[in-house]
Structure 1
Amino acid sequence: MKLLIVDDHPSFRSAARLLLEHEGFDVVGEAEDGVSGLAATTALSPDVVLLDINLPDLDGFDVASRICIDHAAPKVVLTSSRDPREFGPLVGRSGANGFIPKGELSAARICALL
């Protein structure tokens, strides 16, 4: 499966890429903010977008909502280092397939949400 990583921290993008490629994903690109994440989603046509909630321009919920409008859109998995209880029903309302804390990221966790 082709995956796009959208996160404003280069160290997380790098670590996530290494982990997920090792576990079988084809990481087709990375983006550092919401606007470039939306552009990369269109340009790269990933199957899955791993999307940080806290981005410098648009928040991940807004980006997920924009991606998920199209029924042929990629699956979206939100991530954050913050406690998932802080987000309440926002994950479900965004259209994302679910949420994985950054410290628990794995290909198996992503696949379980798809």
Structure 2
Amino acid sequence: MARTILIVDDHPSFRSSARRVLEAGGFTVVGEAPDGASGYTAARDLRPDVVLLDVGLPDADGFVVADRIKRLADPPDVVIVSSRDPSDFGPLVSGCGACGFVAKADLSGDAVAALLP
């Protein structure tokens, strides 16, 4: 059975390309959100298996949003994504409850799946 995923990123072009890549990789995209507030609401309401969450959102830090999402009842797995290098974030990825990080340039269904428990 395909895992469901929510894409949270402020760039429509990235959301569109991520949707194509993830669907080709076996995920079912159940929603998209352009900012942290709508991303949290969508995670709560749509109950995806996974949230692909950008670090740089217009209204919130992605690490703060990840922490909020992980506090939901039966929370989804969270994978952080950014165009920046993962070394820029140090322990912030694991500290927010995310199961890992994927650089936007390296995004694939396999890369996300490899991070999931």
The TM-score by the shorter chain falls in which range? over 0.9
Equivalent AA in structure 1 for residue 94 of structure 2: G
Runs of 4+ aligned residues of structure 1 deviating over 2 Å after TM superposition are none
Give 2:54's aligned residue. 52
TM-score (norm 1): 0.97
Equivalent AA in structure 2 for residue 9 of structure 1: H
Give 1:28's aligned residue. 30
2-structure distance, mates of 1:5, 1:94 = 17
2-structure distance, mates of 1:24, 1:104 = 16
Equivalent AA in structure 2 for residue 57 of structure 1: D
Number of aligned residue pairs: 114
Within-5 A mapping of 1:56-75 = 56-70=58-72, 72-75=74-77
CA RMSD of aligned residues (A): 0.8
Q: Does 1:102 align with 2:104?
A: yes
TM-score (norm 2): 0.95
Equivalent AA in structure 1 for residue 105 of structure 2: G
Runs of 5+ unmatched residues, structure 1: none
2-structure distance, mates of 1:78, 1:47 = 14
Identity %: 60
How much has 1:71 moved relative to structure 2? 5.8
Give 2:40's aligned residue. 38
Deviation string 1:40-98 (CA, Å, 9 cap, x unpaired) is 00111100000000000111100000011246100000000011111111111000000
3-state DSSP class of the match of 2:87?
helix
Equivalent AA in structure 2 for residue 19 of structure 1: V
2-structure distance, mates of 1:71, 1:57 = 23
Runs of 5+ unmatched residues, structure 2: none
Which is further off, 101-110 or 66-75? 66-75
